[in-house]
Amino acid sequence: MELNNEVIINNLVKRFDEIVAVNEVSLEVPAGSIFGLLGPNGAGKSTTLRLLCTLLRPDSGTASVAGHDILEEPVNVRECTGVLPEEGSHTLYPSLTSYENLEYFAKLYDVPEEEAKKRIEDLLKFMDLWERRNDPAGELSTGNRQRLALCRALLHNPSVLLLDEPTSSLDPIAAKRVRELILKLAKQYGQTFFINSHNLAEVQRLCDYIAIIDEGKILLSGRTDELRRRLQSKQVFKLRVADNIETAKSIAEGLDFIFDVSIESDSLMLTILDPVSNNSVLIRKLLNANIAIIELAEEEMTLEDLYLQVIKEEEQ
Amino acid sequence: MNLSKSLVVAKADIKMAMNYKYVKFGVLGMGAMGPLFSVLSVPMIYILDPNASSYIEFILPYISSMLAMFAIIPAALISANSFVGEREQNTLEPLLCTPLTDMELLVGKSLSAFIPSILILVFGTLITEIASNILLFAFGFPMMLIPDMPGLFLVFASGPPMIFVVVFVMIIISGRVSRVYEAYQVSGVSVLVYIFSMLVPTMFIGSSMPFGQVIWFTNILTFMISILLLLITSYLALRMFNRDRMITQI
Ligand SMILES: Nc1ncnc2c1ncn2[C@@H]1O[C@H](COP(=O)(O)OP(=O)(O)OP(=O)(O)O)[C@@H](O)[C@H]1O
Ligand SMILES: [Mg+2]
């Protein structure tokens, strides 16, 4: 099936003097899907996003957004994209009210006046900011400013949304509402989302597609469900025993479905292949050796573990 | 190029700059200063010294230079906010994400400084002419053009290009200064051109050349300097004004 890709990135490169912030990045985001670009600090996420919204010019490579080339038709690209810049809460006019901030951008995005009024009201109400519409943006809390910046990105009903860490600085309830809104907009209205984040849990929950970037390079990319399967096929467990931790370690090392055994304070960290069928084997072996098990618990996969695992797999 | 978009930007920039007290009082104060200074000086001199007509021509050149100078400072105040202030408060990035073209943005931001300054220039001069003559008339002195013809030439020929020079200097330096007040001070230096038009005539006092000719000569020279500055700064500014550069320098 031919997928209609709203964002297509081809070998994009951006250098800042010595640093190659974005290094031969290629990605595709199908229309109506939610894409998450994950990576540690300085990985090149924000630079990639700024290239897509035509703020920066690439040194080489091409990209198109909503069918428009970022170099050939930058104005069209900007018309069809809504952008939440990094630290969005700091990108509002502090002396203008919440309402005026949105009103100004509605004009710049050519939203007809009547429609703008309605959309501003709907968005402010949705984000619980309607009561604060006449307060200067500079007097809002960081989280409220972040929500206002999100309203600004959604204002002109763009077909592609480029959001740089949209839920950073939001409280859990607000973050959940924003995730729900993103899901609704993507699934009901077919808007496409390109989201930067370092929050793996959030990206896993929200995104249809994920890519991991580090030092400007894409380490892996694919459908979230496929990556999740790949992650779940090998998982890290934490084993706590009452004593004899060395014996437990040598037992674990002797099992062919266990990779990577290490001692962390009073526990063993084990990477277990297919834990669903293999954990019971491990437990039986330990019990047979009279080792008192206090706990065998699944370690939550952190972004770091995922990187480490991806990097290790690349090497093998 | 859509002028109405530029006007939206200009309007917002003026409004936001005026939200700062020092800009508001700076612009209003400068706007009032020129006419106040001019209106008070010539009629006052006449009132204090009925024989003033013998030397009044030496004072008139200052009036036009002052009017132009005070009209240009507001452009520096506002453009410092609309160019450097926008970066200082991180609002440049979302602005550059809108469909505005570089040209619409440049025109909008330039107009935000140009409109208030040109209003001050035109109305300041007009008020000076009218108010001075009301005073002269009230005290029974002959009515006269204040500023005189060469003065009006200086104000209206060199004033508008110099307002643009201030804006272009702002664009050129905006990548190198990070604070609004620095930007304002640096671009404000452009007003020094009127020190030239004030100083040159004094060097000819007592020379054989008729003073009226000296003034015309000076003011035409000042006008030519302002055009030269306009050409140089506009060339540099237009080359430097692009998105990539503005963002990379954040
Ligand atoms: N304007 C700039 N000038 C010079 N170097 C830059 C500039 N912008 C980004 N970089 C460099 O490019 C690299 C990638 O930065 P980028 O902001 O894209 O990272 P990021 O993945 O968004 O990180 P974070 O999670 O911290 O936001 C970093 O090494 C950064 O120092
Ligand atoms: Mg970033």
Q: Where does the pLDDT of residue A301 fall: very low under 50, low under 70, confident under 90, or very high at 90 and above?
A: low
Where a domain ends, among A182, A201, A224? A224
Amino acid A303: pLDDT? 56
DSSP structure class, residue A138: G
- Cα R_g (chain B), whole angstroms: 20
- Where do the H-state alpha helices sit in B145-179? 149-153, 159-174
Residue A43 CB–ligand 1 contact under 6 Å: yes
Residue B99 to residue A90, Cβ atoms within 8 A: no
When divided into structural domains, chain A yields a total of 2
Residue with tokens 């003034």: B215
**CATH number of the domain where residue A150 is located:** 3.40.50.300
If you search the block for the tokens 């009209």, which residue do you land on? Answer: B71
Distance between alpha carbon A76 and the CA centroid of its chain, in Å? 26
If asked whether residues A104 and A63 sit together in one domain, one would say yes
- Is the same domain home to A216 and A266? no
* A214 and A118 assigned to the same domain: yes
CA atoms within 13 A on the CB side of B16: 29
Q: Is A47 in the pocket of ligand 1 (CB under 6 A)?
A: yes
Work out whether the CA dihedral A121, A126, A127, A129 comes out positive or negative. Answer: positive
Atom from ligand 1 closest to the CA of residue B250: 1
Q: What is the DSSP string of B115-151?
A: HHHHHHHHHHHHHHHHHHHHHHHHTTPPP--SS-HHH
Please state the φ and ψ torsions of residue A247, each to the nearest 5 degrees: -60, -45
A269 and A142, same structural domain? no
Instruction: Tell me, yes or no, whether A120 and A14 share the same domain.
Output: yes
Cα B49 to averaged position of ligand 1 atoms, centre (Å): 70
Is there a domain that residue A52 lies in? yes
Q: Kindly state whether residue A165 falls inside one of the protein's structural domains.
A: yes
Q: Is residue A307 part of a domain?
A: no
CA distance A134 to A264: 54
Q: Of the candidates B161, B232, B168, which has an alpha carbon nearest to the alpha carbon of residue B194?
A: B161
Q: Tokens 């671009």 identify what position?
A: B187
Give the pLDDT of residue B220: 95
Which residue's C-alpha comes closest to atom 12 of ligand 1?
A21
Q: Which residue has the tokens 């809002």?
A: A140
User: How confident is the model at residue A232, as a pLDDT?
Assistant: 65
Q: Are residues B84 and B246 in contact, defined by beta-carbon separation less than 8 angstroms?
A: no
pLDDT means per 10 residues, chain B with 250 residues, are: 93 92 91 87 83 80 90 92 88 93 92 95 94 88 88 95 94 85 84 86 82 90 96 92 72
A199 and A255 assigned to the same domain: no
Residues of chain A that touch chain B, judged by Cβ-Cβ distance less than 8 Å = 16, 50, 53-57, 75, 78-79, 81, 83, 85, 87, 90-96, 104-105, 107-110, 149, 152
Same domain, A251 and A220: no
Nearest CA to CA, how far is B22 from chain A (Å)? 14
Q: Check A55 against B243: CB less than 8 A apart.
A: yes
Predicted pLDDT at B108: 95
Residue whose CA lies nearest to ligand 1 atom number 26: A41
| CA-based nearest residue in chain B for residue A76 | B99
Q: In this structure, is residue A308 part of a structural domain? A: no
**Whose CA is closest to atom 17 on ligand 1?**
A46
Q: Go through chain A and tell me how many residues it has.
A: 316
Token look-up 């399967």 returns A229
A72 and A49 in one domain?
yes
Give the span between the Cα atoms of A225 and A9, in whole angstroms: 22
On whether the CB atoms of residues B54 and B173 are closer than 8 A, the answer is no
CATH code where residue A244 lies: 3.30.70.100
Nearest residue by C-alpha to atom 30 in ligand 1: A42
Tell me how far CA of residue A275 lies from CA of A42, A234, A239, A240, A285, in angstroms: 34, 7, 13, 17, 15
Q: Indicate if A208 and A93 belong to the same structural domain.
A: yes
Q: pLDDT band for position A31 (50/70/90)? A: very high
How much is the pLDDT for A3?
55
Q: How confident is the model at residue A311 (pLDDT cuts 50, 70, 90)?
A: low
Q: Cβ(A95)–Cβ(A86) under 8 Å? A: no
Domain boundary among A224, A256, A284: A224
Per-residue pLDDT of A136-192, as tens digits, reads: 999 999 999 999 999 999 999 999 999 999 998 888 888 888 898 899 889 888 999
| Nearest-CA distance A28 → chain B (Å) | 21
Q: Is the pLDDT of residue A79 over 50?
A: yes
* Token pair for A195: 């989201």
**Residue-number span of the structural domain to which A190 is assigned:** 5-224
Among chain A residues, CA nearest to B91? A91
Taking Cα atoms as reference points, which of B73, B75, B66, B103 lies closest to residue B164?
B75
**Chain A residue closest to B85 (CA)?**
A93
Number of other CB atoms surrounding residue A57 within 10 Å: 17
The token pair at B125 is 């001069």
DSSP 3-state of A250: helix
> The complex's ipTM?
0.86
pTM: predicted TM-score of the whole model, two decimal places: 0.84
Task: Give φ, ψ of A12 to 5 degrees.
Answer: -75, 135
Looking at chain A, which residue has its C-alpha nearest residue B98?
A: A78
Place A228 in a pLDDT band, splitting at 50, 70 and 90.
confident
- A50 CB less than 6 Å from ligand 1? no
Q: Are residues A154 and A262 in the same domain?
A: no
| Ramachandran assignment for B206, one of left (phi > 0), alpha (psi -120 to 50 degrees), beta (any other) | left
For B208-237, the DSSP string reads: SS-HHHHHHHHHHHHHHHHHHHHHHHHHHH
Reduce the DSSP state of residue B100 to 3 states and report it: coil
pLDDT at A202 (0 to 100): 85
Instruction: Determine the residue among A47, A108, A113 to mutate to test chain B binding: the one whose Cβ has the most chain B Cβ atoms within 10 Å.
Output: A108
Instruction: Convert the pLDDT of each residue in A96-122 to its tens digit.
Output: 999 999 999 999 999 999 999 999 999
What DSSP state is assigned to residue B84? I
Position of tokens 């208030």?
A: B116
In a domain, residue A316? The reply is no
Cβ-based contacts of A94 with chain B (< 8 Å): 89
Cβ contact, residue pair B16, A83, below 8 Å = no
B168 Cβ contact list (under 8 Å, min separation 6): B230, B233, B234, B236, B237
* Model pLDDT, residue A285: 92
A78 contact residues in B (CB cutoff 8 A): 97-100
- Find out whether A300 and A236 touch, Cβ atoms under 8 Å: no
Per-residue model confidence as pLDDT tens digits over A246-297: 999 999 999 988 888 888 888 898 988 888 889 999 999 999 999 999 999 8
Q: Does any domain span residue A164?
A: yes
If you average pLDDT over every residue of chain A, what do you get?
89
pLDDT value at A233 more than 70: no
Domain C-terminal end among A176, A201, A224: A224
Nearest CB partner across the interface for B101, out of A75, A95, A104: A75
Judge whether A247 lies within some domain.
yes
One domain for residues A197 and A266: no
Same domain, A250 and A149: no
Residue A306 located in a structural domain: no
If we measure between CA atoms, which residue out of B61, B31, B219, B46 comes closest to residue B146? B61
**Stretch (H or E) spanning B48:** helix B21-48
* Residue A170 main-chain phi, psi, to 5 deg: -100, 145
